[in-house]
Structure 1
Amino acid sequence: MKIKLTLVAVLFCLAAKAQTTPNITPAHLKAAEDVLKASHADSLFKENMATMLKQASNNLPEERRAKFIEVMNQFVAKYVSWDILKDQLAVTYAKEFTITELKGLAAFYNTPVGKKFIIKQPLLVKTGADLGQQLVQSHQVELQQMMQDAFKDQ
């Protein structure tokens, strides 16, 4: 079963575990994490993932949709969960904004800092998508085997 294109569409905003970056201090990372919390990024991630999986499953025969979503949820929980994504996103935010700007974003989005956030947001989303695509590609063989195992009796 060829799922490559579906995976790219489904997992566009997933990411790798955080890597250390010499220019980013713990305080800077904490400020970035506060922005993620204030924006409810974890809830949005989960909601968007559920929506994307449902949309992707629409390309499959109806009798395979539930199993596809089940397998994809297992894969996401193992390799691209919010716990994996959040650290890398915090690093990305910390690279793009100062500590002062991050504190401003967490406190109020309608300030000049909030407007900068809106401008930077497409870059942040793209970075997350690129990281997720790399994760899926690095585990693609395992995912394909999971799908084959899940559908072998159907």
Structure 2
Amino acid sequence: MKLVSKTLSAAGLALALAVIAAPASAQQKQAAPAAPQSTPLKPGTPAAMAAAREILQMKNASAMYAGAVPGLVQKTKEALLQSNLNYQKDLNEVAVIVAQKLAGREKEIGEGMASVYANEFTEQELKDLVTFYKSPLGKKLLLTEPRAIQFSMSYMNAWAQNFAEVINGEFRAEMRKRGKEI
């Protein structure tokens, strides 16, 4: 029963995310077709890139990818260990060397994110966003948005769990009508 409840909770959450994302997705499709992921980003102007970097710095975006290099080194090591158990000691030692050698490469993510911003917003829009984020309301948004997102996700998870129980009840009721208890 717990497994069914957890599965339905996950399904409910997926449904909730799909429902929430669908209108946004539809709006994006109407606004402009999505560029294929293989399409390289246009280089932003130096001023646009500077503004984008400043926005990302104000949003503390680097916290999202700070552990990217060590995390990917660890995942790669674990994958290699699965088929090379006899090399565990060596792979552990090599992981340290590789992590040290590639330390700092996560900054490439920040530059990529700045390029994305520079492609999605005009130079003036980026400058306006910097001005906004420096305003009292912008500072409040930067300060409270992570918490608001966390609370929103908690609410959505609780809603999905409750709604999954409603769905479960509906399945059971419909199956009872067919003379089948589940």
Q: TM class, shorter-chain normalised?
A: 0.3 to 0.5
TM-score by length of 2: 0.36
